[in-house]
Amino acid sequence: MIRTRRHWILIGSSAVLIGSGVALAQSAVLSAFDATLPDARGISRFNRPGTTTLLASNGEVIQKLGPATREKIQPGQMPLLVKQAFIAAEDRRFYDHNGVDFWGIGRAVVRNVRQGAVREGASTITQQLARTVFLSQDRTITRKLKEAALAYKLERQLSKEQILEQYLNYVYLGASAYGLADAAWVYFSKTPDQLNLQEAALIAGLPPAPSVYSPLVNPELALERRGIVLNRMEQAGFITASEAEQARSSPLDLKPAIPKYFNSSAPYFTSWVAQQLPQLLTPEQLEVGGLKIRTSLNLDWQRKAQQVVRKFAPYNTEGVIVSMEPGTGLVRVMVGGKNFSSSQFNRATQGLRSPGSTFKLFPYAAAISSGVKPEDVFVDSPRCWAGYCPKNFGNKYFGNISLADALKNSLNTVAVQLQDKVGFDAIISTANKLGIGNERPLGKYYPMAIGAYEQTVLDMTAAYAAVANRGVYVKPMAIEEIRGPQGNVIWSRRIDGDKGRRAIDSEVADAMNWMLQRVVTGGTGGAARLDDRPVAGKTGTSEGARDLWFIGSIPQLTTAVWFGYDNNAETHSSSSEAAWAWSRFMTQVKDNYNVENFPAKPALNRPLKGPTKKDRAATRGSAPSTPGGGGYQYQPYGEGEAPRPVTPAPAPRRYIAPDDGPPVDENFRPLPVQ
């Protein structure tokens, strides 16, 4: 009897030990398998591959690219009617299963066999969410097993309400609508809380085949599918028979709209951002999606600048405004034209235009750097250089005049003289350091000094910004920071961006800013005056007033304005129009910065450096003469040689001197826009 009792005790103990071992082993296997599955708690950060969100500097959304959910519903804000519609349509036992509904599978199999076709699916809302976020759409046994395992894990880690809300934020509902909020807007121009019963039922019927059931594509099928959802809602007790009947008899009443953030709020700027991204990120980083790019754009300023271009561009010309911070290179505004939908050509970054007298920045800066002082006197009179005869506006000449006054009055003959005074090499080198002429080389032609070589508005803005930054050039930048799918910083301007480089000495920049301020206070840039702070800037007008420029700075911001026709026709206007538009824009944004003065005019004591031997050899035989030789093209000669260009750079397209016009009174008002 005792032996028998001991025998059963031994057997029982062994069974307990074996059972415990099996349970522990099973738990270990399940834990190991579970560890290979993604953590469902990070589901709120899900992004589809190829999605990118572009943000303004203050975090406001500019555009969402790719298959992105453009607007999510916050936790606890999902309307009850919508939840009931989707549960009735997609997973009527949602609150009763643990991720996989075996009763639902059996019901679907029986119905599909009876119908002889697939009429009902068996995937739960939890399974659909797992498939959308973590898996592909492949129809394989392996994928289905992973889907089931993930569904169980989702149910363990998230509440039912969290699962349902995440599903409704990510499910594709046709017409580029990812999530309920997007669908409500795309189909009905409504927010989710504004949807009525028939609208909620229609959207809830879309997930099985969004492109087929879309009311924008197949309205009859959409109505049929809506009726099925309403029937299921009635069967589930969510609505009454009379409510269902009334909703079934209602018309579609669609009010289609473009998905929110589908189009860019600043398309010229975002097209430039897209060009910069491949230089900062790998193809793999761009493809993975979920990128959040905080740009430099001030969206409010951008809208103001766009309005200024449309309002003040004279005679239906096109217009550009670019505004950037000198110390950081951050481009705060980029208007590349009047209407992006009419023309996607970005005139700020792609348009090559003659800069006119705004190019004088470079010969003047080179002259100051080479020892010429603002007080040094030049002779302003009609002169020719090997057949090239620049003219001042209205054929007005001042005789003896200081360098500073020559810039203030935008005298062309003095600017051309500086090429003899300090040499082409010094001027070209200065321009190169300030970002001009590196991609499109400048040739040693006398018309260069007054803007014969075409430039982009962005490049010219950056050059003037460097002078405002006391000689430190910072490359224009559109991006502040890029974060990856997990919110991690993968590129930062502060760490990875351009730190700037010394382009010209600070005292040279200070002297230039002093002279450029005089252009605004008493010269051709008078229309750009601001009532409470100094402005340093320069007008520019190309031959026949085909290009109208003003580029001006306050110490914290440099802004360029350009007007002209795409076909290069004459504008029959003046650069004062651009200066006035500049002031209209800056008046609206200047109060964001404290009033600051530019540094005082420096005491310059630099030894004078003349042209290099190479320059002197290149210009031999091209000494200035009185007018009469005719022609406009400058052809430098070497001794005993046939005519040839000094450098392999192409000759400028036009050689006639630009006309900036006389000094403009501060009370200038532009001509009426035609």
pLDDT at 121: 54
Average model confidence (pLDDT) for the chain? 86
pLDDT at 634: 28
* Secondary structure of 199-214 in HEC code, one letter for each residue: HHHHHHCCCCCHHHHC
Q: Would you say residue 663 has pLDDT above 60?
A: no
Q: DSSP label at 434?
A: T
In angstroms, how far is CA 634 from the centroid of its own chain?
41
377-387: pLDDT as tens digits: 999 999 999 88
152-180: pLDDT as tens digits: 999 999 999 999 999 999 999 999 999 99
pLDDT at 547: 97
pLDDT at 671: 42
Mean pLDDT of 268-282: 93
Q: Would you say residue 131 has pLDDT above 60?
A: yes
297-351: pLDDT as tens digits: 999 999 999 999 999 999 999 999 999 999 999 999 999 999 999 999 999 999 9
Q: Would you say residue 501 has pLDDT above 50?
A: yes
How many Cβ atoms from other residues are within 10 Å of residue 454's Cβ? Answer: 17
pLDDT at 287: 82
Q: Give the range among 33-42, 71-80, 537-546 with minimum mean pLDDT.
A: 33-42
How many Å apart are CA 365 and CA 374, to the nearest integer? 10
pLDDT at 669: 46
pLDDT at 101: 85
Q: 175-194 burial, b if ≥16 CB within 10 A, otherwise e?
A: bebbbbbbbbbbbbebebee
Q: DSSP label at 647?
A: S
Q: Give the range among 271-280, 330-339, 580-589 with minimum mean pLDDT.
A: 271-280
Q: Would you say residue 28 has pLDDT above 60?
A: no
Q: Would you say residue 213 has pLDDT above 70?
A: yes
Q: What share of the chain has pLDDT > 90, as a percent?
A: 71
pLDDT at 654: 43
Q: Give the range among 127-131, 470-474, 558-562 with minimum mean pLDDT.
A: 127-131
Please name which of 386, 359, 503, 547 lies closest in space to residue 442, comparing C-alpha atoms: 359
Q: What is the pTM of this model?
A: 0.82
Element (H, E) at 35: helix 2-35
Q: Would you say residue 17 has pLDDT above 90?
A: no
At 286, the pLDDT band (50, 70, 90 cuts) reads: confident
With both helix axes pointing from N to C terminus, report the angle between 361-369 and 506-522 in degrees, rounded to the nearest 10: 130
Mean pLDDT of 552-560: 98
420-448: pLDDT as tens digits: 999 999 999 999 999 999 999 999 999 99
User: How many helical (H) and strand (E) elements, i.e. helices and strands, does the chain have?
Assistant: 23, 16
How many Å apart are CA 420 and CA 615, to the nearest integer? 9
At 362, the pLDDT band (50, 70, 90 cuts) reads: very high
623-645: pLDDT as tens digits: 454 443 333 232 222 222 222 23
- The sign of the CA dihedral 351, 357, 363, 365 is negative
